[in-house]
Structure 1
Amino acid sequence: MSYSTSSLIKAINHPALADKVMGPTQAQGFTFAIVSAPALIPTKDWWPMLFVDQKISAEIAPEARDAFLQEIMVYFKHAVDELKAPEGFTFPDVCDCKDNNANVELMAFCAGFLQGYHWLSDLWQDRLSNLDDESKSLVSQTLLGSMVLSGHPQLPAMLKDTPKDQLPVVDDVYADMPKTLTIFATFGRRIAAAETIAELKKAEAPKA
């Protein structure tokens, strides 16, 4: 099944999901954060986070719920496939940035990504504490770029002491972010894969 943002929008627009789930690009951003996680996260754990109440109400019609999950998982697979492709990550087709202004869909995607990272922050901090400065810098760069493109309200305070000629330019951040997110997600997935292999080897090791 091929990926299409319009199919996700159609699923989200089901009356049974009105005001109960994230918007489509916000949901894609959160899902990409899960794709990038430095540990394997079962779908049953992160999927409810896409709902406004962070749980799936029993009142939601099963067909609407399942159609939404199906489209999210199509995007999940699409994102994984992109990371393996030469071109790497690309923003959803509805995201755009012109004249230093991110459109609302790009802002929503980056906001969703930051929400996902925040949800996973304990996992990231635990791994980063054992990694080098270059790895920590990659994560910081990714988060800063996402904050710039999402119009994060804390950004002005964070950058208040930054010289004017060193302030991030939105158009430049937008141009760089696909590569940055590709490296970030690949990095996180390699950590997850290494830990999985280590656990398998540990489980297979003969007991003394």
Structure 2
Amino acid sequence: MSALIDFYQQQPQNEGLLTPFQGLGFVTAMAAAPNIIDPAEWIAFFWGGEEQAPFESAQDFEAFANAVVDSFNEIRDKLFSHEWQWPAACQLDEENIVTSECQALCEGLLQGWQLARDDWETLMPESSEDNALLGGVLLSLSLLFDPETAIAELASQGIQGLEQFEEIYNAMPQMLCGLTLKGQQLLAEQA
């Protein structure tokens, strides 16, 4: 379990913050980004970018910031060592295709990608072969974030069944690690 999820479990529910798994997804996107963006530049996204953080004390904010940085470091290490996996709560679900935690994690990943988007698009421009990897990861995250819309769209194209979601879900750890490593490789080649 990540330091960030531990923080959320130990604190009273803070309505002003991203949910625990949205936050974990956001941190994962930042950890996967090709260029490290200082957490001081993006931590305010957890509370909608407002100037005032929604914490009762400086100690609470410091504990939160430490949990974010610890989770960032842990996730980045796992992405680079090809060991990143879905958190235990992020599972396939027969009734809803994926758990709400999985949907929230995907939502946070997509939100975080927006912040690092320019870096990704510079390294993997639309005309490049590598753009297919980036597009595949983003499409897969979008499908897992909103599976009901995805199923309706697939059905309109004559595709039935949920096997695709299981394949996408199972492939995501490898895809996300691969994207992270490819981003670093391309960054090194440009240096």
When normalised by structure 1's length, the TM-score is 0.77
Question: Equivalents in 1 of 2:40, 2:154: separation in Å?
Answer: 38
Question: Equivalents in 2 of 1:117, 1:141: separation in Å?
Answer: 13
1:186 and 2:181 are equivalent in the alignment: yes
In our comparison, the structure showing a higher alpha carbon Rg is 1
Aligned to 1:201: none
Aligned to 1:177: 172
Question: Equivalents in 2 of 1:136, 1:167: separation in Å?
Answer: 26
1:138 and 2:149 are equivalent in the alignment: no
- Deviation string for 1:20-40 (max 9, x for gaps)? 111111111111111111222
Can you give the 5+ residue segments of structure 2 that lack an aligned partner in the other structure?
Answer: none
1:48 and 2:44 are equivalent in the alignment: yes
**1:35/1:79 contact within 8 Å kept:** yes
Residue 188 and residue 152 in structure 1: after superposition, are their counterparts in 2 closer, same or farther (change >3 A)? farther
**Amino-acid identity (%):** 22
Aligned to 1:164: 159
- Deviation string for 1:128-163 (max 9, x for gaps)? 228732x11101110111011111687468757745
When normalised by structure 2's length, the TM-score is 0.83
Question: Equivalents in 1 of 2:154, 2:187: separation in Å?
Answer: 32
Aligned to 2:22: 26
**1:22/1:50 contact within 8 Å kept:** yes
Residue 131 and residue 70 in structure 1: after superposition, are their counterparts in 2 closer, same or farther (change >3 A)? farther
- Give the counterpart of 1:118 among 106, 114, 118: 114
Instruction: Point out the more displaced range, 99-108 or 20-29.
Output: 99-108
Alignment RMSD: 2.9
* Partner-residue secondary structure (3-state), 1:21: coil
Aligned residues: 189
Structure 1 counterpart of 2:169, which letter?
Y
Residue 186 and residue 163 in structure 1: after superposition, are their counterparts in 2 closer, same or farther (change >3 A)? farther
